[in-house]
Structure 1
């Protein structure tokens, strides 16, 4: 049962220990993982676990497992028997999924199109590009893909890590989002040097280059999608893969971030209009015009 795991709640003034379950809100846990750039700068990654009203669990993304973390998950989920599904939301967060599958092979696995293309040893149950899959656990859990960005085949793979599936859990008022939005309560020196401010939200830096489609309308499609997301999802907390968790006040902070980005959206739109006046998408890219919800018709 959920109560079997000793509750730990984040202290916003401190960095969270890695590979431990933290209770973010009712029936929602987050785990901080390590991901280092050049073996020096740890920009972290994450996994969240959500308990559905039927008593079963969704695992949102995965991290490298330790014996202690496995014991905590086993205790929470009856040795994995109550894990209903594992959902990989970010096309490039792949490294820890195979090992997690080896530990919990009975769960149903759902991923992005890139997961399905790359990790062929996993028997994927469904593709998150299918809106019917994203709606599968409503109203307990809601999922959406941002407009104006490439989800199916993001290029170049070395730098375009902007978009992922946003996951909202109304019961805990918590939003799980990977690279698109970043947050650090106390960024380290290297992050400060490149412009990150403590306690502030930021969009992934790829928004300034390959993150959005190279069309004049793409920045505004993304902005309007974000506005609708903020209107529909009344979250208080946000769990960001990079670099941490914000407890309370997250909705207002994301709204502030979006409003402050208006000059950037205008600049990107003008640049794209000049370089790409016909609004053509690169070969292999897919338009995403879905602003208001997850229409399936």
Structure 2
């Protein structure tokens, strides 16, 4: 995984970035650029663009002047927010309450990114979904499961941070590890709300998501990779991902109901 801008179609670009654990293992990160029917652009998430990336994006956006908003979708993805906001000073910047707490120097919009107000602003091209049954902003700083997922309706692209993963390991790891699958982030057990019904709420949300975004053709996952999928296959992939966490959900039901 390296830094690159991947053009998914004429209105959607996925920006693949570098994020290293302990300075060694690069698990990647991402942002995406979406062109709106108006001709303006928005970013999904933030990334510190390389000079080459900046040049290419400025060429698309009239020197950045056509970027109208930056939507930071994951409460714990704050590392690149300041740099992106500085690079596009005319853009409205949206985030969660945690973004505002961690980066108070940024002029944040009053509405949080997960609010209905933001959803309605871009409902012509984007559909958003926030997982149920899990903490959106966990008290445990190591639990980054939940995020606001975005679906680009014209292209069938899902942009998702952490909640869904797709690990396409490079050689030689790919020779010994299982083939990549769309899966739920491994911190699900710690992310589930400590109350009765949370496991059922999460399972119901996931099943609804599969059906609602059944036409998805690409999944862009942050700390892993992007993958093309057959339109119509997303419900089955979500069902399979749920099967793989059935034990986790059962344990939660046993404990909380």
When normalised by structure 1's length, the TM-score is 0.79
- Hey, what does 1:105 align to over in structure 2? 89
Is 1:89 aligned to 2:70, yes or no? no
Is 1:121 paired with 2:101?
no
Match of 2:255 among 243, 258, 275: 275
Secondary structure of the equivalent of 1:261?
Answer: helix
The higher-RCO structure (CA 8 Å, 6+ apart) is 1
What's 1:135 paired with?
Answer: 120
| Equivalence for 1:249 | 230
* In structure 2, distance between residues paired with 1:273 and 1:231: 24
**Compared CA separation, residues 55 and 141, structure 1 to 2 (3 A):** same
Contact 2:210 2:238 in 1 (8 A): no
Q: Are 1:25 and 1:173, in contact at CA under 8 Å, matched by a contact in 2? A: no
User: How far off its partner does 1:225 sit?
Assistant: 1.1
Deviations 1:20-43 (A, max 9, x none): 321112300001100011111111
Partner Cα separation in structure 1 for residue 171 and residue 196 of structure 2: 35
The aligned residue for residue 230 of structure 1 is 210
Separation of aligned partners in 2, 1:73 and 1:57:
10
2:199 aligned with 1:199: no
- Counterpart position of 1:294: none
Q: Distance in 1 between matches of 2:243 and 2:159?
A: 24
Q: Is the 2:168–2:180 Cα contact (8 Å) retained in structure 1?
A: yes
Q: Mark the runs of 5 or more structure 1 residues left unpaired by the alignment.
A: 1-14, 278-297
> How far apart are the structure 1 equivalents of 2:133 and 2:75?
16
Name the SS of the counterpart of 1:135 in structure 2.
helix
Residue-by-residue CA offset, 1:253-278 (whole Å, 9 max, x unaligned): 5632433523633x33443344345x
Structure 1 segment 13-92 matched on structure 2, within 5 A: 17-18=2-3, 20-92=4-76
Deviation at 1:62, TM superposition (A): 1.5
Q: Is the 8 A contact 2:168 2:174 kept in 1?
A: no
| Alignment length (residue pairs) | 255
**RMSD between aligned alpha carbons?**
2.1
Conserved? CA contact 1:216–1:270, under 8 Å: no
Superposed, 1:153-172 pairs within 5 Å as: 153-157=137-141, 159-172=142-155
Distance 1:251 1:113 in 2: 35
- Residue in structure 1 matched with residue 165 of structure 2 by the alignment: 182
Residue-by-residue CA offset, 1:147-206 (whole Å, 9 max, x unaligned) = 11111x31211x21001011111111101001011113344556887xx63332221110
SS at match of 1:106: coil
TM-score of the aligned structures, taking structure 2 as reference length: 0.90
Once residues 214 and 188 of structure 1 are traced to their aligned partners in structure 2, the CA distance between those partners, rounded to angstroms, is 39
8 Å contact 2:40–2:67 — kept in the other structure? yes
